[in-house]
Amino acid sequence: MNDARRGIREEVAPIAVIENVTPRVDGGRFAAKRVVGEEVTVTADGFAHGHEKVACALRWRGPGDNAWSESAMEFLGNDRWRGSFTVDRIGPWQYSVSCWVDHLESWREGFLHRIDPADVRVAARMGAELIAESASLAKGFERDDLTRLAAQLTGEQDPTTLRRFAGDDMLMEVARRHAPRDGATETIAFPLIVERERARFSSWYELFPRSASDKPGAHGTFEDVEERLDEIKAMGFNVVYLPPIHPIGREKRKGRNNVPLAEEGDVGSPWGIGASEGGHTAIHSQLGTLADFKHLVRGAKLRDMEIAMDIAFQVAPDHPWVKAHPSWFRRRPDGSVQFAENPPKKYEDIYPFDFDTPDRQGLWNALRDVVAFWAREGVEMFRVDNPHTKPFAFWEWLIAEIRRDYPRSIFLSEAFTRPRVMHRLAKLGFSQSYTYFTWRVTREELTEYFTELSQEDSREYFRPNCWPNTPDILPYHLHNANPTMFRLRLLLAATLAANYGIYGPPYELMENRPRDPGVSEEYLDSEKYELKHWDRRRAESLTPFITKVNALRNAHAALQSDWSLAFHPVDNGELLCYSKRAGANRILVAANLDPQRTQAGWVTLDMEALGLDEQAAFTVKDELNGESYPWRGKRNFVMLDPVKTPAHVFSIHPA
């Protein structure tokens, strides 16, 4: 809609003021995030000096739109306005707020309060002039209707009839729609990135392809992984994440348990990328061929699953780029290439890139081309290793470049680092982010952290993805932990966050042996450095429990987003209670954080968060075991024996 169509008169200087627009990320420097089908609610303060009323409109346009769509915003009181629109496709969107002096509404409000007949007639003629101006900007039958109304306000003498003319809400709304927008001001166009639904709701399962064979000692293949897809889907996961699948360097290769020197037969770490066979666009020969990988990707999509690929921008000493592009790497005083280190740790098997290289353009283009290569082969989800060790500008550029040609791409940031750095990466375009959940254990820690993630302004751009373990992290609370702790941590991750994942077989089988108990979070005999054979059919496997929890996630819309999360007070510090809601679908979780002892307490429910009356009677059904309990009002009792179950996952059914 152009300015002439909206009746903005250039000679009238901006009078209206717009403040406090939400959502807004760093004043509009970065995009807020939504997924297809979501409603975007925009609020703003809009006002002008004096007693004149103002009107506000929300404007938006999506990818490929030349014209802006517009709708009137609702007045909430105290100069606050609200509007909304629904996003229906992937890509970059924009929205803005416009505000102007509403002379017609200001006139009508005063006119309808006038009493003296002569005063009413004079004021009616003033309104007629405003409506005539609107008529001049209208067309067709609307122009005719407004012209007639202006004439009636001018010619009629009876005050009661004049008030009836002015009280015609429908006709007055037509007049306001065509009225000049005097003193109008408009915000900048705020950016919005819209992604597909899996950016908001996903269940990740990580496995090492080389350990996927059912034959002990045999090197796994992509075909072995594909044979496991039905099993993983049956557990309720929709994303299968593979660590790097490229050739592994032989020079400086690490041995088992991360010892500095490999012995003959040691397979090395997949993150030591590159050898004489190739680098980041090559495939480890024992895993299969590119055709085998593409078959795996297609097989996952046929099951409504996805293969997520690891992007690790680092190289092994014998990666082809080390010789072909020596300027991409820093040198030590002795002339050797600088290896990665985090003192006192040394990673001689990995060379980081020098992003300050004089050949910056060459390096950046080569790394972009790596992601584009796999996107062309059908990969649409990427887990990015240690993005916080690369320049922010690089990621903003690369993600934009990839999404321009592959808009369905989803990027997960693996940055366990300082909060501001994690948040900056999310603002730059990462769809999801690893979190501190892995180390949040107490009720106070979990409540504070997830309130931040779900209720503070950062939720507009930071989507949490919670993992109870990773190949790098066996957190201290899982060191030699009992099955209850493993069930508890999985259930918390899966119900507190809409995106979560596990490092597969080790979690199912409750692998709890640390390399250095109480000192290091490394696994003993870590799969990062050796082939493993996992007996997934062991009787004590957590597979049935994981399957049940994921089934609840897939069945209940309340668990498929984060913003409705609400915590409910409990008079026992070992009990954590929280809920999520999507319309009439309500889930209430009461968890026992003590893996050793039965805990009981009184929960005080936030009935407003649950959408229930204060004294409502309702039934809670434990979706884990099928048991139901009658509850009434906000104060109710829970008791949890950790041996039987770490938590209740209640669905709520009002009487």
End-to-end CA distance of the chain: 50
Ranges of beta strands (E only) in 239-305 are 239-242
Tell me if 25 sits within 8 A of 31, measured CB to CB: yes
Bridge partners of 215, per DSSP, are none
Q: For 49-68, b where at least 16 C-beta lie within 10 A, e where not — what string?
A: eeebbbbbbbbbbbeeeeeb
Cα(221)–Cα(286) distance, rounded to whole angstroms? 7
CA dist., res. 62 & res. 88, Å (int) = 9
Q: Establish whether 606 is a catalytic residue.
A: no
Q: CA torsion angle for 589, 590, 594, 600 (degrees, to 10)?
A: -170
Selecting among 70, 105, 414, 521, the annotated active-site residue is 414
Q: Is the dihedral of CA 550, 556, 561, 565 positive or negative?
A: negative
CA distances from 298 to 166, 232, 292, 509, 641 (A): 65, 16, 10, 29, 44
CA 276 remoteness from chain centre:
39
For the beta carbon of residue 403, count every other beta carbon within 10 angstroms.
21
Letter for the amino acid at 541? Answer: S
- Measured at the CA of 151, the angle between CA 150 and CA 153, to 5 degrees, comes to 65
Crossing angle (nearest 10°) for helices 392-405 and 419-428 = 30
Run of H or E residues at 508: helix 504-508
Phi, psi of 140, deg, nearest 5 = 60, -140
Give the separation between CA 429 and CA 403, rounded to whole angstroms. 10
Q: How far lies 2's CA from each of 67, 68, 460, 496, in Å?
A: 9, 9, 30, 45
Burial of 418 (0-12, 13-18, 19+ CB in 10 A): exposed
d(CA 638, CA 569): 12
Considering the candidates 385, 460, 562, 623, report the single residue annotated as catalytic.
Answer: 385
Query: Where does residue 170 rank: exposed (0-12), middle (13-18), buried (19+ CB within 10 A)?
Result: exposed
The encoded tokens of residue 605 equal 């429910």
Nearest Cα to 297, choosing from 247, 243, 240?
A: 240
Tell me which residue of 379, 457, 389, 451 sits closest to 422, measured CA to CA: 389
- Which helix (H) or strand (E) segment holds residue 465: the answer is strand 464-466
414 has catalytic annotation: yes
Catalytic residue IDs: 385, 414
